[in-house]
Amino acid sequence: MTGKTSSAGRRSDTRVSRNIKLTLEYEGTNYHGWQTQAGSGQATVQETLEKAFATLAHGPVKVHGSSRTDAGVHALAYVCNVVTDSPIPPAAWAPALNHILPEDIRVLSSGEAAPDFHARFSAIGKIYSYRILNRRAPSALHRHAAWHVNLRLNMRAMRSAAEHLIGRHDFSAFRAAGCSASSPVRTLKAVIIRKSADMIEIRLEADSFLQYMVRNITGTLVEVGLGRFQPGDVKQMLLSCDRRTAGRTAPAHGLYLVRVLYTE
């Protein structure tokens, strides 16, 4: 598959390296998150995708992800990129990969990106969504798709609390103990809380997120909704920069990476 091709002058004896951008939808239930951890022995989305890619590219590849999603977290449009000299046309990667990937990972689209595009470092923002099933009865159909909260949540209090979080802040109070980000400062651009029938969606947009930031904010907002905190307490939590002042961590299975934002 190497060698001369007559189709383009720029190809001669060498393969042409291309930067392929992929957009994925995945159900995180059966994966230990996006990122491969050496020796963990548990399947990750990255590892599963790299194996499928390597099968098609006839050699090892490195897939660059946009986000380390936690174990059990889902994605509606996860972006990653791969530099490869495979002759497979950029748009053909999506159907080819879907042919060999497990059904809980689907490639929605594939295409060629600029040589300097990097799924993580080129991102200027991300949108996450958290789903809460707020009703008495547990659910069979949403058991991996939404957090079941069986006591009635006060939507007005949750929305009022969320207002305090919007803007550029030190989010140390909502950060995981093991978070490796160099700065705890992030700009939370929007928090939208919607309810449709029994399903509550909390949608957050930020320049980027700290580890567990969405799950810690969600857990805290739920405790506000239950009356355990007042909306104004959330402002004090932010100012304290102390994780111990904020609420619990919402479970992973209600969380979705919705979109990764790029300038292009």
Task: List residues near a copy of itself by CB under 8 A.
Answer: 24-27, 74, 76, 94, 98, 103-106, 108-109, 137-141, 143, 145
Q: What are phi and psi of 99, to 5 degrees?
A: -65, -30
Distance from C-alpha of 255 to C-alpha of 73, rounded to nearest angstrom: 5
Helices 213-225 & 155-163, crossing angle to 10 degrees?
Answer: 130
The DSSP result for 2-52, as a single string, is: -S--SS-TT-SSSPPPEEEEEEEEE-GGGSS-SS--TT--S--HHHHHHHH
Minimum CB separation of residue 20 from a copy of itself in Å reads 16
Return the number of the residue (107 or 158) whose C-beta is nearest a copy of itself: 107
Q: Give kind and range of the element (H or E) at residue 71.
A: none
Taking the complex as a whole, how short is the minimal distance between the CB of residue 109 and a copy of itself, in angstroms?
7
Q: Among residues 70, 85, 170, 198, which one is catalytic?
A: 70
For residue 233, indicate whether it is catalytic. no
Dihedral, CA of residue 73, residue 76, residue 77 and residue 79, to nearest 10: 20
Would you say 118 or 135 has its CB closer to a copy of itself?
135
Q: Which is nearer to a copy of itself, 42 or 139 (CB)?
A: 139
Q: Which of residues 68 and 106 has its CB atom nearest to a copy of itself in the complex?
A: 106
What's the closest the beta carbon of residue 94 comes to a copy of itself, in angstroms?
8
- In 3D space, the residue among 164, 149, 165 whose CA is nearest the CA of residue 226 turns out to be 149
Give the DSSP H or E segment for 54: helix 45-57
Catalytic residues: 70
